[in-house]
Structure 1
Amino acid sequence: TIARERDEFHYGTFPEGFKWSVSTSAYQIEGGWNVDGKGESIWDTFSHTPGKRANNETGDIACDSYHKVKEDVNLVKMLGVQQYRFSISWSRIFPDGTTSYVNQAGVDYYNSLIDSLLKIGVEPVVTLYHWDLPQALEDVGGLLNETVVDRFNEYADFCFKTFGNRVKFWITFNEPYVITWLGYGIGVFAPGINSSPGEAPYQAAHNIIKAHAKAYRTYKKFYKGKQGGRIGMTMSTEWAEPKDPNNPSDVEAADRVIQSILGWFAHPIFKNGDYPEVVKKQVNERRTPSRLPVFTDAEKVEIAGTADFFAINGYTSRLEPIPGAIQATPDWLKIVPWGMRRLLNWLDREYGHPTVYITENGVGTSDATVDDQIRVNFYKAYINEALKAQQLDGVDLQGYTAWSLMDNFEWNSGYGPRFGLFEVDFNDAMRPRTPKRSSIYYNQLIRNNGFPPLQRDERITGDFPPNFIWATATSSYQPMRSPLYLKGEPTVILMLEIDGTNGDVACDSYHKFDVDIELLRSMGVSHYRFSLSWPRILPSGNRTTINQAGITYYHALIDGLLAAGIEPMVTLYHWDLPNALQDSFGGWVGAEIIDLFVEYADICFKEFGPKVKRWITFNEPWVFTVLGYGNGAHSPNIKDSGRLDYQAGKNVLLAHAKAYRLYQTQYKAVQNGEVGITCNSDWSEPRNQYRQVDYDATNRVMQFFLGWFMHPIWVNGDYPDVMKEYVAKRSAAQGEATSRLPELTTQEKSLIFGTSDFFGLNHYTTNLAYETFSPDRINEVSYYEDREANTEQDFTWPAAASVWLKDVPWGIRRLLSWIKKEYNDPPILITENGFSEEGNSHELNDWWRTKFFHGYINEVLKAIQLDNVNVIGYTAWSLMDNFEWAEGYSERFGLHWVDF
């Protein structure tokens, strides 16, 4: 419940004047490390030291931005941002770090960049120090030498004087925590000092804070009045989530983490000129005398209040493990969007409602690709959390900056992690830039100024057609007591147990069907969909033994439903194959199964047909063929994907068709019922709507999924052409004489075609499909490899307890419209749709499920009213919590809570 509410997507826009920005830093993109008089920086020295960086890569050339001002500015213009944050290389202007010599070529470079930005209407945001200290200053102690305070002030003063007539947004230091701890503590960043990790970081931080304050006072005294700019420091932190928010010790520990990273610098500047009390206490208690330097009273006065805004870089959150966190690149970055909102709220409360700018936020990828869906999702999720903080929580957030403009030198990770909105080809001397999908998405966000409500999601009002079927559903194995208790043969499902749980008792509906009927009556449904248990009626799977107790039970259930005014919708097979049939000839892969199923169907039609007017032969054949006989994730746990699953699929089609023909010839005239089949299908969208191959992949996903069974029945008696083509192509490449997809004969096609009176559809969620062909995997035999496509989901979509289930209402409307077009406008009966929760808490206020049904059912109404789709009914899954297959009782889909 908490996670669902926390992650709910919020539609809205940022206030007018909100600043959208993108960022880089000098060493990471400029290159030209020793040209035109530039002095050496500590990163030049560090990266030229073998073993300090991944693959011994350097920033000597990087993106070659020193020679590509025009190209970079064009990238900025393409994004449509209002600001561009970049840093000045101190040693490019002052080669030895002092004012003794000004390198005019460096000044000219930054003048050119600033003027070019202003020409396109983009405000320059200038960082004075982004980690590249002149090596000459490091040679005399660097940030550990207090003289750096005056040297930095002189450098800042020159920049204010030279560029301040055009630059109105200054940042003194970027991420001082990183500078001090990684550079002077553990030594993994330049200058690589780790000789005194208990003291050097504190001294470096002390000098940084004083240098920042002095530069701020210089700007305010000499420049602010005539230039009218603002100045601050960019700090960074991870959000620290208490392991147990109800445990005060954990809350205090989380606060200490943030105070020791962020408060270390923010507290002196935004509060009282001194370090946080908790930081002083922690450091002082660990060693005497304290390793934490002390500010004088005069220094505290000079430091306090030296920021015109709160600039924060935030990427990730800290808690091990973080539930639902997605591992990204590099390893330290886990995608935890809600951490951004919590961090912004913490800043707001801790520092007295300051004006906040997010000055860096982004995610890396491990490979060079322009199809960066993970970055699109990242920005969507994190920026939405920032919007929540601004709109819902009242945080004074006035700007957001994406990191970074382009792929660049990622410090000691070299060119491995790629954070760019534009790809850079580092193997090409010209360093060409290519837009990634994320750049298009970010541009769209900027143009919309956030997330305006979509017309796609607007609700409509109206009535469903007369005689519309309103139903709920269960399946025999999930709510009933096992046949083992009835002296019958077991079902093959009993072979599958996860964490020691099975369906032996389940909801005990075998003994409580009268209670279930009363629940149905109180709901007001017109129909109840349930399945018959094959082994409860035929324990050995054939006519040799008929279990009269089972038949009596189903008669009593059907009679009770009819007495309550509820029509039964009966599924013949919902996955619980008699175990004897699996053992004797392999279950659904054996040809014998076809006639045995028809024999079982014949008994059911004869016994119950006078009272049952709607039959479903099979429920979700894709599941028990691909998962049961393909990857082994479902009983009977056989792994032979791309062979047995296809054979099982063919046998299912033939068994369904023969049962349908049997009903038509022997029962329909008297009983006047309808027979169909229910297939499950997610809706799939192209992951990249700018790549034709993803549209093609989306079609293959749909045809291999839903088309596999519905195309033969509704179109021409045969599998979809694309399915036949792709399986045959891969089979031939693997040296097979014939396709692994078993051929349907002319007679079989004629038998199958037209064998359904309605289109049974189970639908829950939506996916994003993309092309996955790889010559390296051509010999892999697999249903998933055959289709040369895969799917993923947008992690910003609200999640259910089931890892595969996201709440995407608009997907059902698009699927229904696709079915109408693809299968010649059939009457569609939605036979399952629902949403899962987890755990055993007696939570009856399932507001998230209410929202799910509201959203999905309204999209069904749109399909009927706006798209003229012939939907004849809707079935909610499920009547009650039950045994959820491999997940046991951990996932609850029920409209009624069951205390197991």
Structure 2
Amino acid sequence: MPARAPPRRLPRLLLHRLLSLHLLLLSLRARSLRAEPGQGAQTWARFERPPSPEVAGFLHDTFPDGFLWAVGSAAYQTEGGWRQHGKGASIWDTYTHHPPATSGHSAIAVAPSGAPPPPLPSTGDVASDSYNNVYRDTEALRELGVTHYRFSISWARVLPNGTAGTPNREGLRYYRRLLERLRELGVQPVVTLYHWDLPQRLQDAYGGWANRALADHFRDYAELCFRHFGGQVKYWITIDNPYVVAWHGYATGRLAPGVRGSSRLGYLVAHNLLLVTIRLDGVDVIGYTAWSLMDGFEWHRGYSIRRGLFYVDFLSQDKALLPKSSALFYQKLIENNGFPPLPENQPLEGTFPCGFAWGVADNYIQVDTTLSQFTDPNIYLWDVHHSKRLIKVDGVVGKKRKPYCVDFSAIRPQIALLREVHVTHFRFSLDWALILPLGNQTQVNRTVLHFYRCVISELVRANITPVVALWQPASLHQGLPHALAKHGAWENPHTVLAFADYANLCFKELGHWVKFWITINEPNTRNMTYRAGHHLLKAHALAWHLYDEKFRAAQKGKISIALQADWIEPACSFSQKDREVAERVLEFDIGWLAEPIFGSGDYPRVMRDWLNQKNNFLLPYFTEDEEKLIRGSFDFLALSHYTTILVDWEKEDPIKYNDYLEVQEMTDITWLNSPSQVAVVPWGLRKVLSWMRFKYGDLPMYVTANGIDDDPHDEQDALRTYYVENYVNEALKAYVLDGINLRGYFAYSLSDRSAPKFGFYRYAANQFEPKPSMRHYRKIVDNSGFLGSEPKGRFCPEEYTVCTECSFFHTRKSLLVFISFLAFAFIISLSLIFYYSKKGRRSYK
């Protein structure tokens, strides 16, 4: 499994919203908590260990009926109209018109394109101009489909001086108009009385919230609102975020009114705000409010950030609202009332067909050619009295015997592990550099070749089908013989011919037992030049045609290439640009080598067009002969799949941005991750299988590697158990629901000895210990899937690997029985003749 760069995280704001919704859903589904004194320690003990993958994963469920889906806004951030129709000044009007030198709020808004527009006044004088656009704002609510709308009343708009007296009728009329429009749409208002915009007259006269007298003025203001709007408003909020008002308004001075007082003043203000809340509060609001409806003035940040679901062009006259992708997501969320458990998210009960290939994969097997002591022809004497060692007797040599596979002591234990898992197939790669150290047949390591032959033949004897890869990229010389690596590796066309020569040797020496060949396993397209990829395709095709023309008739095997195929998902499903980026990355990652073999015979059109657009003309063109050679050089489609990656088109993190493909990789914070930060996304396997069929047709497919690293200190092996369970279930969905012609699944890998942290067996001090995930996978293999609570009768006749030596006798059983009978009769007749003839001679004597 090749290493990937750590992916970038999703933008904090979107993650915060999604995570808040998820936590809220969990809390609503939880039971009421009742406990006796002292039982709290037991509760906290549950958090000493990390949650199980099932609990930590994303919860698909819906909110209860009647749940409040809302979106919010604040008066000063969106209304504008600061001097229209008799509105009084607020502390934020003063703060932005005469900002303190240390306030640091920005005057620049960032446009979606990333280019800074002309400077905007860093005030809320106009903002989103909601005061003059009631219909526009409420149409946005209708488009979202919310049930409630949270907005705040500007104290200075209805009471310009802040004190009880003659209210501003135009201000009251604006809020009545807004409430009437909400009633027409069936949207319930949730009204905040105070969202940080205190009338400036109260700040000047009393020192703001530091004076307890404001509690009385706030009560008068609240009674005015209740009297005029109470018939239409059932949900009231007294004060929004009193901590910010008290601490940053009166202690740090970061927000209006900008008082840089002592911490004591901050606590005093907080005390006065609590007095107000105690007198007026008593409303229980249950629901979720997305903040905010539209872009607006973001307090001390001015227009430097955008937090709205709808985009506002602050430089335009009409201030039109354009829905962002977050608005579309929230709209869908409201429509579904949460995250309903869709069929594709639910486990599927069912089984794979008889003959399905259940396997385990290892990149390489440990080549241990140490022979047994019984193969040594030398004679030794045991020096019992002195050195206690064996002393070789010179000049005396015993008879050499033919080597046998049992002489390799390392083979049987590995076969025993595979038999314990109950798999039917085992995939591994040969080491080209070990077999041919010089890269050609002038020097063949017959000992290593004999070791591989023994491994493969012993697998067949154990009724386990070997799936053998000729070459796989490795860290040392790319897994190539040193002589080839130092002369350009796959950049050199000579490597293509050397590979064909090497493949010919392997087919001749090992093909007698091997029925599944992989020419090249998991070539890493992200670290490969276009020239090297071109040669690699030709090498694969030459090996395929060599087997097809020279060995297939006698050996009756199958051969193909195995590609790494991690799924690429657009970060925003509503974004056409994200979808285009995802398709582009898929074509560069998978289509680069797949399209010439399984598809058109040429490189993907998306790939070639993109490179031409970049003025990169290094991607070779196939000649007519090369296209005929490569296209169709397969017997099945094999792929390795490990994870899913999100991609975005926007450049947000220059360090992790791929300028060449113009793509930003990231991950979802709600996804499970392995210790090496590989995301666990089971549905990605199903999607990549469907994509493969869509691109290349209904081909027989094998998942030849699928696995995850684990925490070596986790005795329960919970993550890998969860991974195997859910990925195999997604493979079952692909087979049953999508009709994918899936023929086999191989888990990666067998033991930690060959792939540390990825194995089904722990390895230490030459001992193998099965992990819980091995037993779980074995149960899946035994059931050939997921039988459910009431398993139906299932019978598959036991299959055995074909023995080619036995095929002659197996197909001529009747003839052989007849010949055996004749031979037996002939031997009995000769015996009788000999017996009676001898007896007769004795009687004449």
> TM class, shorter-chain normalised?
0.7 to 0.9
Q: Aligned letter for 1:655? A: A
CA distance in 2, matches of 1:513, 1:136: 90
Q: Aligned letter for 1:765? A: T
CA distance in 2, matches of 1:848, 1:9: 15
Q: Deviations over 1:743-787 (max 9, x none)?
A: 22222112112211111111233344555699xx9xx9x996555
Q: Aligned letter for 2:762? A: W
Tell me which of 693, 707, 726 is aligned to 1:820.
693
Q: Deviations over 1:229-275 (max 9, x none)?
A: xxx3xxxxxxxxxxxxxxxxxxxxxxxxxxxxxxxxxxxxxxxxxxx
What SS is found at the alignment partner of 2:189?
Answer: strand
Q: Which residue is 2:273 aligned to?
A: 208
Alpha-carbon shift at residue 725 of structure 1 (Å):
2.2
Tell me which of 805, 809, 824 is aligned to 2:679.
805
Write out aligned runs for 1:509-548 (5 A).
512-548=410-446
CA distance in 2, matches of 1:145, 1:88: 22
Write out aligned runs for 1:1-12 (5 A).
2=51, 4-12=53-61
CA distance in 2, matches of 1:199, 1:789: 51
Q: Which residue is 1:350 aligned to?
A: none
CA distance 1:842–1:682, shift in 2 (3 Å): closer
More RCO (CA 8 Å, sep 6+): 2
Write out aligned runs for 1:134-149 (5 A).
134-139=199-204, 140-149=206-215
Is 1:117 the counterpart of 2:182? The answer is yes
What SS is found at the alignment partner of 2:563?
Answer: strand
Q: Which residue is 1:54 aligned to?
A: 106
What SS is found at the alignment partner of 1:610?
Answer: coil
Contact in 2 for aligned 1:26/1:86 (Cα 8 Å): yes
Alpha-carbon shift at residue 135 of structure 1 (Å):
1.2
Contact in 2 for aligned 1:727/1:786 (Cα 8 Å): no
Contact in 1 for aligned 2:667/2:679 (Cα 8 Å): no
Q: Which residue is 2:670 aligned to?
A: 796
Contact in 2 for aligned 1:731/1:740 (Cα 8 Å): no
Q: Deviations over 1:700-741 (max 9, x none)?
A: 333222221111112243212222222223226xxxxxx111
Is 1:870 the counterpart of 2:754? The answer is no
Q: Which residue is 1:461 aligned to?
A: 349
Structure number with larger C-alpha Rg: 2
TM-score norm. by structure 1 comes to 0.69
CA distance in 2, matches of 1:546, 1:650: 28
Q: Which residue is 1:593 aligned to?
A: 495
What SS is found at the alignment partner of 2:289?
Answer: strand
Q: Which residue is 1:276 aligned to?
A: none
CA distance in 2, matches of 1:4, 1:461: 20
TM-score norm. by structure 2 comes to 0.73
Q: Aligned letter for 1:105? A: E
Alpha-carbon shift at residue 596 of structure 1 (Å):
2.0
Write out aligned runs for 1:348-359 (5 A).
357=285
CA distance in 2, matches of 1:142, 1:113: 29
Contact in 1 for aligned 2:53/2:718 (Cα 8 Å): no
Is 1:439 the counterpart of 2:327? The answer is yes
Alpha-carbon shift at residue 605 of structure 1 (Å):
1.8
Q: Deviations over 1:508-550 (max 9, x none)?
A: xx98443322121011100100111122222343334333342
Is 1:659 the counterpart of 2:549? The answer is no
Q: Which residue is 2:834 aligned to?
A: none
Q: Aligned letter for 1:840? A: P
CA distance in 1, matches of 2:97, 2:548: 81
Contact in 2 for aligned 1:800/1:807 (Cα 8 Å): no
Q: Deviations over 1:387-429 (max 9, x none)?
A: xxxxxxxxxxx31111111111111111122111111111212
Contact in 2 for aligned 1:616/1:678 (Cα 8 Å): yes
Alpha-carbon shift at residue 31 of structure 1 (Å):
0.8
Q: Aligned letter for 1:408? A: G
Q: Aligned letter for 2:439? A: G
Tell me which of 191, 207, 212 is aligned to 1:126.
191
Is 1:626 the counterpart of 2:487? The answer is no
CA distance in 2, matches of 1:31, 1:574: 65
- Percent identity over the alignment is 42
Q: Which residue is 1:896 aligned to?
A: 761
Q: Which residue is 2:486 aligned to?
A: 584
CA distance in 1, matches of 2:615, 2:552: 42
Q: Aligned letter for 2:331? A: N
Name which of structure 1's ranges 860-869 and 406-415 shifts more when overlaid on structure 2: 860-869
Contact in 1 for aligned 2:673/2:680 (Cα 8 Å): yes
Q: Deviations over 1:186-242 (max 9, x none)?
A: 11111111232x21111111111112223x1xxxxxxxxxxxxxxx3xxxxxxxxxx
Alpha-carbon shift at residue 899 of structure 1 (Å):
4.4
Alpha-carbon shift at residue 801 of structure 1 (Å):
3.4
Q: Which residue is 2:773 aligned to?
A: none
What SS is found at the alignment partner of 1:543?
Answer: coil
Alpha-carbon shift at residue 618 of structure 1 (Å):
0.9
Write out aligned runs for 1:738-749 (5 A).
739-749=617-627
Q: Which residue is 1:833 aligned to?
A: 706
CA distance in 1, matches of 2:75, 2:292: 12
Is 1:680 the counterpart of 2:551? The answer is no
Q: Aligned letter for 1:424? A: V
What SS is found at the alignment partner of 2:85?
Answer: coil
What SS is found at the alignment partner of 1:876?
Answer: strand
CA distance in 1, matches of 2:443, 2:252: 76
Q: Deviations over 1:454-475 (max 9, x none)?
A: 0223444333222211101011
CA distance in 2, matches of 1:448, 1:861: 27
Contact in 2 for aligned 1:797/1:806 (Cα 8 Å): yes
CA distance 1:409–1:897, shift in 2 (3 Å): farther
CA distance in 2, matches of 1:155, 1:149: 10
What SS is found at the alignment partner of 2:222?
Answer: helix
Q: Deviations over 1:95-147 (max 9, x none)?
A: 12111442221111112112221221111111111111111111131111121
Write out aligned runs for 1:257-656 (5 A).
307-309=282-284, 357=285, 398-476=286-364, 480=366, 512-576=410-474, 577-578=479-480, 580-581=482-483, 584-621=486-523, 623=524, 625-627=525-527, 629=528, 645-656=529-540
Contact in 2 for aligned 1:799/1:807 (Cα 8 Å): no
Q: Which residue is 1:756 aligned to?
A: 634
Write out aligned runs for 1:235-246 (5 A).
none
CA distance 1:45–1:812, shift in 2 (3 Å): same
Alpha-carbon shift at residue 691 of structure 1 (Å):
4.7
CA distance in 2, matches of 1:465, 1:482: 37
CA distance 1:74–1:824, shift in 2 (3 Å): closer
CA distance in 2, matches of 1:868, 1:11: 25
CA distance in 2, matches of 1:124, 1:683: 43
Contact in 1 for aligned 2:325/2:575 (Cα 8 Å): no
CA distance in 1, matches of 2:302, 2:132: 21
What SS is found at the alignment partner of 1:36?
Answer: helix
Q: Aligned letter for 1:591? A: P
Q: Which residue is 2:132 aligned to?
A: 67
Contact in 1 for aligned 2:70/2:148 (Cα 8 Å): yes
CA distance in 2, matches of 1:194, 1:773: 39
What SS is found at the alignment partner of 2:218?
Answer: helix
Contact in 1 for aligned 2:239/2:277 (Cα 8 Å): yes
What SS is found at the alignment partner of 1:85?
Answer: strand
Q: Deviations over 1:293-339 (max 9, x none)?
A: xxxxxxxxxxxxxx343xxxxxxxxxxxxxxxxxxxxxxxxxxxxxx
Unaligned runs of 5+ in 1: 217-231, 233-306, 310-356, 358-397, 484-509, 630-644, 733-738
Question: RMSD over aligned Cα, in angstroms?
Answer: 2.8
Name which of structure 1's ranges 1-10 and 722-731 shifts more when overlaid on structure 2: 1-10
